[in-house]
Amino acid sequence: MRTDSPVPYLQLRVKLGAGAVFGPGKAELLEHIAATGSISAAARAMRMSYKRAWQLVDDMNRAFAQPLVATAAGGVQGGGTALTPAGEKILDCYRTLQRKASTATKRELALLARAAAKA
């Protein structure tokens, strides 16, 4: 996630209705969960509390018809967390939307960059 970029960039948030929103933070959390197999490790990577990460996962799982994240309790099998096929599809869809939006607005972003006050 680019939060301190010296040039303007597009940040896409998708309103799903009933107050549900999917944006860059939730997408990044899904990516970290996919990479680590752990909500707690994903939270640490994002410098986010474990509680907040769980809340976001719960929000995402409730916002979509199928859960995006599946968890398995520890024990002999070791437990873990993974994206569901729906989670992988939603993440891919969101990243595709981001790429297309950035490409479609490249000219306008360059204009904003030229017009922006220098810090």
How do residues 55-109 score in pLDDT, each as one tens digit? 999 999 999 999 999 998 766 566 789 999 999 999 999 999 999 999 999 999 9
Q: Supply the pTM of this predicted model.
A: 0.86
Domain spanning 14-115: CATH 2.60.40.1120: no
Distance CA 40, CA 33 (A): 9
Can you name the residues that pair with 81 across neighbouring β-strands? Answer: 71
How do residues 35-56 score in pLDDT, each as one tens digit? 999 999 999 999 999 999 999 9
- Phi first, then psi, for residue 78 (nearest 5°) are 95, -15
- Domain residue ranges of the chain, discontinuous segments joined by +: 14-115
Average pLDDT over residues 17-39: 95
